[in-house]
A and B are shown apart, each in its own frame.
Chain A
Amino acid sequence: MAQIEPDALYDERGDVSWARPPLQGDVFDDVVLPGFGDEPMKVQIVSHPCAMRTGRGLLLPRITVAPVGPHARIAGQRGWDGNLRLMPLPGLEDGQNYATKFVDVTAAPVDLLTRSKRVASLSHRGIYVLQQRLVKHYTRIELDLELLRRQSAPVLLEAEQQWHWIDEVLSEEELADEAAITAEATVFDDWLGEGDPSRRQLLQDEVHHVDVRKQSQRAARERANDRTQRS
Chain B
Amino acid sequence: MTVMTGQPTGTSAGGVTDYVPSAPNATRALSIRADYLRTNVDSLGGEVQELHDDARTLDLDSRTLDKSKKSVPALLDELASERGMGWSDIAEVIGVSISAVRKWRKGGDASPESRKGLARIAAYLDLLEEKLLVEDPAGWMEMDLPLGTGYYIRPLDLYLEGHEFGLIDIAERRREIPAVLDEIRPGWRDKRSDFEVFTDDDGQRSIRKRSE
Binding site for B on A (CB under 8 A): 7, 10-12, 16-17, 50, 123-125, 143-144, 146-157, 160, 163-164, 167, 201, 204, 206-207, 209-211, 213-214, 217-218, 221
Contacts and interface: CB of A to CB of B under 8 A. Distances in A.
B205 interface: yes
B74 to A, nearest CB: 14
B7 interface: no
A201 B204 CA distance: 9
A20 to B, nearest CB: 8
A147 B152 contact: yes
Given A151-B207, A160-B87, A209 B195 contact: no
B9 to A, nearest CB: 52
A206 B143 contact: yes
A144 B192 CA distance: 10
- Tell me the interface secondary structure of chain B in the complex: mixed
22 contacts: A7-B97, A10-B97, A11-B97, A11-B98, A12-B97, A123-B98, A124-B88, A143-B193, A146-B153, A147-B207, A149-B152, A151-B197, A151-B206, A154-B205, A157-B86, A160-B98, A164-B87, A209-B86, A209-B142, A210-B83, A213-B84, A218-B81
A150 B156 CA distance: 13
Interface string B126-150: 0000000000101100111000000
A210 B83 CA distance: 7
Contacts of B206: 151
A120 to B, nearest CB: 11
Interface string B67-105: 000000000000011111111100110000111001000
A207 B91 CA distance: 21
Contact of B205 (A12, A150, A217): A150
B166 to A, nearest CB: 18
A163 to B, nearest CB: 8
Nearest to B80: A217
A214 B197 CA distance: 25
A169 B153 CA distance: 35
A113 B93 CA distance: 31
B87 A150 contact: no
Of the listed residues A10, A11, A156, A218, the one surrounded by the most CB atoms of chain B closer than 10 A to its CB is: A11
